[in-house]
Chains A and B, each alone.
Chain A
Amino acid sequence: MTAGSKRAEPELRRSVTPWGSFSWGYSDVGADIFVGLGLVLAWAAGASNVAFLFAGIVYVCIGLAYTELAATYPVAGGGQYFVMRGLGDIFGFVAGWAVLLDFTIDVTLFAWTSVDYSSQLVPALVNSVHPWLHFGVVLGLVVGLCLLNVIGVRESTTFNGVVSALDVISETCILCFGFLFAFRPQLLIHTMQMHWPSSYDLMLGTSLAIISFVGLESISQAAQETQRPASIIPRTSVSLILTILIFALAYSNLALGLHPWHPITDAAGHSQQFWQIFPNNPDNQGKAVALLAAQVPYYGAFAALYVPVLGAVLLLISSNSGVFGSSRIAYAMSTSNLLPSLFARVDRKYRTPVISIVFFSAIAVVELIFAAAPALFPSVSSLYARFFHGENGLDFLADLYAFGAATSYSFVFLGLIGLRLTDPLSPRKFKIPLNIPMRFRGERVEFPFIAVIGFIGIFSILMFTLFTHPLGRIFGPSWLVLGLLFYLVYRRYRRLPVLRSQRRDWRNAQTEILRRAGELELMDEYLANVKASDARRAGLGT
């Protein structure tokens, strides 16, 4: 076939700007803070700020790992691609399959909680009162987000970008006015001294504070559609890490040292501190940011009206990130022969992976039905109580959510270590600090010490999830086993290596990745590195 005789297949559009890339991550992480703050305050009490600090350290490790990998390998697929390239096909599949589980659950879980949040202002949406209406609205949201993503990434990115901007401004205002008008340093110290939790509660609080993982995955998944990814992604990732860390630490410290605008009393009429309204009160735990905002002098009068709405919208765009993420991972996995090529088809009109989007949105709908069944059909409720240890559908989804995230990110750290050893020639515009120089297979490499710390941290959380969540312990590994069986059958059918990796020309692949990314200077650097390495090896050979 001669050059130019075949029309080029459409590729994903490079339309995601720096703010778009940031907002894809922020939409996930920002929403988690809306949910997580109350839970952490409930369990970690006077050590909530310390819990967020511990969680923040692991979060920073994960963030740095993703930043380096996404900037070095700007392709759709995120973690699974890094793992596949660093450890091999089968590990890449496991990591990708785990994240797929996570993102499909993300779609359902966050659409569901978005409606719950809205119910603060619209009581008809309360699930326990009108389950069918609640179910219908959540279903409508999932289908709507699916269509939005089918139309194209620019439209979805605009949607995310506007809401993220509003939320960043809003949260900054809440915190600034809160610290300015209602913060007592002495109260913070007093609370930390008098209400320090038990070790178990502190660990539980820390594990709850660590739910802010998936946002960074979204940035790396959008890498293939981001303009100049090697330059932009390190900035958006680092900015996201810093912004969320600032918000999390500031919220927790403000909550512990807040002098409430409206006096808070318990049932006996005794005065309470702000953080004391969260333990044993699930209603308050779910709307912590709104409650805190309302307690900020003057600004709180305005914030009490819009923060519940903003929280609901932010949760909704987090759900949108789930649709985006799952379709992009499937796209990348199918182009790597880890999933059937059906998922790699890009629609000629919209230039988006329509089949992937629709398929994984359909899985999200199945999960929604599963989660809503006990409320919709009372007879099903007893079945859940009998077989699922009394947990409801949403508990089940949350267990799997934690399992999927911890599994995939454990592999990502291993993938990062593997890539540092096996691919030292790829230029890394951003590199995790604290590296140990060494030689591996004749090349100078840098062993990432931070990745080891991060792996220990996230693997501990994986073990903790398996240990403390009976449903996650059963269904999480079951999802992986089911996926692996599908993978084995598919690879055998395609006559590809089943347990070993497919042979790939990573050098040409990396050149092509950098060329498509528009990172021509990095491409030149990579080619020069390859040439120098080949010359060195040839010299050694003679």
Chain B
Amino acid sequence: MISVSSQINVTLAGALIALLIAGLVGATLWWMLHPPESHVMRIAAAAERNLERIVGSLIVAFSPEIDSAHVMALAAKLARGERSELLALYVIEVPYTLPPDAEMTIEERAALDALGAAETIANKNNVAIRTETIKARSTKQAVLDVAKREKANLIILGSYREGKYSGAPLGRVIEEIAADAKCDVLIGVEGKHGTLLIDESVQSTSQEA
């Protein structure tokens, strides 16, 4: 049997020293773990604070002129990381020679393909997505109206389709949307070989091979 001393020596000096030790160790470690922020850290913190405002609600716009398929994966990853609302919008521009609700079978079929692909990408990234197809006289105005209705923070656009170059470097509609939008606009322009969404390491490996 282990004998135990019945005397417990609680002294004022002992209690004060115990308090001092706990306080000093705690204060020292707290001071160590809270270094001042650097200029770079302050910039980064401000950017992060703005991020939610920037990407709270996203619209990815498609049209026969705007090819956004390659930025859809990027938008889905962004939406997943920031838990943003995501809307894929396909605008079919109806010429003035036709009534506003004219049937445009080829364009509507293309819209189904584009939005179907967008849904697939979103599902793969486990992101909730809404899709919408609208017919309008002006693609630019349609995109801006929907952005206003949805209170969108960011419109994401691809670039012009090959063969439909209209004189503006990025495509006329894209430049007009970027110029007139009341929110941020992200334009994903593919490089010469379409490297925007290709894994760089895979590419370099294939080049080395």
- Chain A interface residues (CB < 8 Å from chain B): 7, 18-19, 22, 168, 172, 175-185, 228, 231-232, 235-236, 238-239, 242-243, 246, 250, 259-263, 297, 518-521
Contacts and interface: CB of A to CB of B under 8 A. Distances in A.
Interface of B: 2-5, 7-11, 13-15, 17-19, 21-22, 24-25, 28-29, 31-33, 35-36, 38-41, 204
Nearest to A519: B38
A262 B5 contact: yes
**The 5 nearest A-B residue pairs measured at CB:** A183-B14, A239-B32, A179-B18, A176-B18, A180-B18
Interface centre among B2, B8, B204 (most CB of A within 10 A): B8
* A interface SS class: helix
A263 B3 contact: yes
A250 B19 CA distance: 12
A521 B40 CA distance: 9
Nearest to B17: A179
24 contacts: A18-B32, A22-B32, A168-B25, A172-B22, A172-B25, A177-B18, A180-B14, A181-B9, A185-B13, A236-B32, A239-B29, A242-B24, A243-B25, A243-B29, A246-B25, A259-B5, A259-B7, A260-B5, A261-B4, A262-B4, A518-B38, A518-B40, A520-B39, A520-B40
A19 B30 CA distance: 10
Contact of A180 (B10, B28, B38, B41): B10
Contacts of A242: 24, 28
A341 to B, nearest CB: 23
A250 B25 CA distance: 12
Contacts, number: 97
Interface centre among A22, A179, A238, A250 (most CB of B within 10 A): A179
A239 B31 contact: yes
B10 A228 contact: no
Contacts of B39: 520-521
Contacts of A178: 18
Contacts of B31: 235, 239
Contacts of A261: 4-5
A183 B13 contact: yes
B24 to A, nearest CB: 6
Contacts of A22: 29, 32
A232 B8 contact: no
Contacts of B28: 239, 242-243, 246
A183 B32 contact: no
Contacts of A184: 9, 11, 14
A494 B98 CA distance: 82
